[in-house]
Amino acid sequence: MLKQTLLKATEAGAAELQRYFNTNYQVFNKEGVNNPVTEADHASERAIFEVIRNNHPDHFILSEESGEIIQDSTYKWIIDPIDGTINFANNIPICAVSIGIEQAGEIIMGAVYNPMMNEFFFAQRGFGATLNNERIHVSSKDSVDKSCLATGFPYTYLDSPNGPLQVFDRLIRRGIPVRRLGSAALDLCWVACGRFDGFYEHKLQAWDSAAGFLIVEEAGGKVTDLENHPYNPYQPGIIATNGKIHEELFGWIKGENKYEV
Ligand code: IPD
Ligand code: CA
Ligand code: CA
């Protein structure tokens, strides 16, 4: 039942992305210079809420555009109605609906669907991860030098030691490819299916990563915070890798001298 509702809610949100993509719709700005929210973000959120409320009216909801809808329940739906809104608003088809389900403080299921590329990622704790119903697995690269990485940057720049630009600078100076897709949920899924060997970001929200982090773990990867501690989606930093390069990538992020070039 829970899984069916999750799939249906994700599809309902994604149908709104497809309906609005590359059309004329209203765009509003949130904090920051260019941090848009569109009519499509709200329509996707409404469609997702409707499915959840019809099936589990007593569940807690945390969603990017509406915040917390508090209920006395052990279940919490963590929703990003469009992850990759800047891409969406520029007609770049790298964006997705992302929904994670938490039960008693643990993420137990996640779905990330990019309808523009027809790619539906799903994971259930203990049952592996899939892309369009086929099992997926992380890559087997064993060094950062051989890796293709991904990262993202916050809307409001974060100037701190080992901050986003410092880490990016280190890796780029070394000659390591670091991509910036513009959708953290898809960055995580692309680690899960082996396209990227690792992903890190400094300032995410729970709705960006709740589904994707479970999908990486269930695909055999490793996810921690930026201090290399077990991952918790309610704090900002993330390192997600195939497991093999995790310690080494953590060293690059911390700026350990042995990695300086
Ligand atoms: C953003 C994307 C982006 C990441 C930002 C997020 P949004 O989410 O995931 O890749 O770098 O930190 O805020 O605003 O498109 O839902
Ligand atoms: Ca997001
Ligand atoms: Ca969003």
Q: What share of the chain is helix, strand, coil (3-state, %, to 5)?
A: 35, 25, 40
Per-residue pLDDT, 160:
85
67 & 43 share domain:
yes
153 and 127 in one domain? Answer: no
H or E, element range at 212? helix 206-218
d(CA 25, CA 27): 7
pLDDT tens column, 174-196? 999 999 999 999 999 999 999 99
Q: Report d(CA 167, CA 92) in Å as an integer.
A: 26
Q: Which pLDDT score, from 0 to 100, does residue 260 have?
A: 55
pLDDT at 34: 82
Residues 34, 58, single domain; the answer is yes
40-52 per-position pLDDT tens digit: 999 999 999 999 9
| Distance from the alpha carbon of residue 183 to the mean position of ligand 1, in angstroms | 5
Of the chain, the percentage scoring pLDDT greater than 90 comes to 91
> 115 and 26 in one domain?
yes
Closest ligand 1 atom, CA of 153? 11
pLDDT at 35: 84
Q: Among the three residues 135, 158, 173, which one is the final residue of a domain in this structure?
A: 135
115 and 19 assigned to the same domain: yes
22-71 pLDDT, tens digit per residue, is 999 999 988 778 888 999 999 999 999 999 999 999 999 999 999 999 99
Residues 8 and 127 placed together within one structural domain of the fold: yes
The pLDDT assigned to 242 comes to: 98
Q: How many domains does the chain have?
A: 2
Instruction: Give the C-alpha separation, 178 to 196, whole Å.
Output: 9
Tens digits of per-residue pLDDT, 74-132?
A: 999 999 999 999 999 999 999 999 999 999 999 999 999 999 999 999 999 999 999 99
What local confidence, expressed as pLDDT, does residue 156 receive?
82
Give the residue numbers spanning the domain of 239. Answer: 144-259
Reported as a single tens digit per residue, the pLDDT across 216-252 is 999 999 999 999 999 999 999 999 999 999 999 999 9
Query: Dihedral of CA 251/253/254/260: which sign?
Result: positive
Which ligand 1 atom is the nearest neighbour of the CA of 181?
10
Mark which of 73, 106, 135 sits at the end of a domain.
135
**CATH number for position 254:** 3.40.190.80
How many C-beta atoms lie closer than 10 Å to residue 94's C-beta? 19
Statement: residue 207 has pLDDT above 90: yes
Residues 208 and 247 in one domain: yes
Q: Based on the domain organization, do 102 and 213 belong to the same domain?
A: no
User: pLDDT at position 158, please?
Assistant: 72
| Residues 130 and 155 placed together within one structural domain of the fold | no
Environment of ion ligand 3 (residues, CB < 5 A): 64, 80, 82
CATH number at residue 17: 3.30.540.10
Q: Is 164 touching ligand 1 by the criterion CB < 6 Å?
A: no
Among 135, 161, 177, give the residue marking a domain's end: 135
Ligand 3 center–CA 119 separation, angstroms: 18
Instruction: Please report where in the chains the tokens 């992903």 appear, as a residue.
Output: 199
pLDDT of residue 4: 98
Same domain? 196 vs 131: no
Task: Give pLDDT, residue 258.
Answer: 60
- Report the C-alpha gap between 164 and 153 in whole angstroms: 7
Residue 173 identity (one-letter amino acid) = R
pLDDT number for residue 233: 98
Are 184 and 113 in the same domain? no
Q: Do 130 and 178 belong together in one domain?
A: no
State how far the Cα of 32 lies from the Cα of 112, in Å rounded to an integer.
26
